[in-house]
């Protein structure tokens, strides 16, 4: 009953697109947490609110949104082209500018540790280093976003 009401409210409209993007990002963060936990054998709940890591949930969110727009409006529509263009800019930014900013922060943290005898709190704390993504993390996030959108649309129409 609840699922049928949900399907009725969001099927084939803007709510389906919006909920698809948000849910793809949310589940992507859960996947990122699981991967981090397996790799490090440590549980860190801050992963749920951080940027960077595998997969890129920014890429997953925007590409799932673009994919669902393509499904609903047509892959030859202007709105799909606009959505995909913005998605590609966001993905480029994640792997380019934000990744470079993260590397710069890591370098600055090392310099500041040396200058302040490992007391980074004296200068306001350590800069956040995990900002961007590797190209692989971006592409895995994008692939996940496409697959998620198709499965989500199939579930909605279920």
Instruction: Note whether residue 51 is domain-resident.
Output: yes
> Does residue 126 fall inside a structural domain?
no
pLDDT digits (tens, 9 = 90+) for 129-157: 555 668 888 899 999 999 999 999 988 76
90 within a domain of the structure (yes/no): yes
Tell me the mean pLDDT in the region 80-88: 95
User: Looking at beta carbons, which pairs linking 7-10 to residues 24 or more positions away fall under 8 Å?
Assistant: 7/156, 7/157, 7/158, 10/156
What is the chain's mean pLDDT, rounded? Answer: 81
Quote the CA–CA distance of 68 and 104 in Å, as a whole number. 36
- Residue at 18 is within a domain: yes
pLDDT of residue 55: 84
From CA 87, how far away is CA 101, in angstroms rounded? 20
In a domain, 7, yes or no: yes
**35-75 pLDDT per residue, tens:** 888 888 888 777 777 777 778 888 999 999 999 999 999 99
Tens digits of per-residue pLDDT, 89-113? 988 887 766 666 666 766 766 766 7
Which among 66, 57, 58, 64 is positioned nearest to 85, based on CA atoms?
Answer: 66
Residue 15 lies in a domain: yes
Question: Residue 125 falls within a domain, yes or no?
Answer: no
Q: Which tokens in the block code for residue 34? A: 């699981």
- The answer to whether 62 touches 106, Cβ cutoff 8 Å, is no
Dist. CA 50–CA 45, nearest whole Å = 9
- Is 12 a residue whose pLDDT tops 80? no
> Is 10 inside a domain boundary?
yes
pLDDT, residue 46, reads 76
- Number of domains present in the structure of the chain: 1
Which domain covers residue 71, as residue numbers?
Answer: 2-96+132-157
pLDDT score at 115: 66
């Amino acid at each position: 009953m609840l699922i049928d009401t949900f399907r009725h409210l969001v099927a084939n409209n803007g709510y389906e697109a919006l909920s698809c993007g948000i849910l793809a990002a949310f589940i992507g963060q859960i996947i990122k947490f699981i991967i981090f936990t397996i790799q490090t054998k440590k549980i860190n709940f801050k992963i749920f609110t951080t940027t960077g890591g595998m997969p890129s949930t920014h890429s997953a969110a925007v590409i799932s949104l673009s994919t669902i727009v393509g499904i609903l409006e047509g892959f030859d529509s202007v709105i799909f082209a606009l959505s995909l263009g913005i998605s590609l800019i966001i993905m480029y930014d994640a792997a380019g500018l934000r990744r470079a900013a993260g590397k710069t922060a890591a370098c600055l943290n090392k310099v500041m540790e040396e200058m302040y005898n490992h007391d980074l709190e004296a200068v306001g704390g350590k800069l956040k280093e995990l900002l961007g993504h590797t190209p692989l993390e971006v592409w895995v996030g994008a692939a996940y976003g496409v697959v998620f959108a198709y499965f989500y649309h199939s579930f909605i129409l279920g």
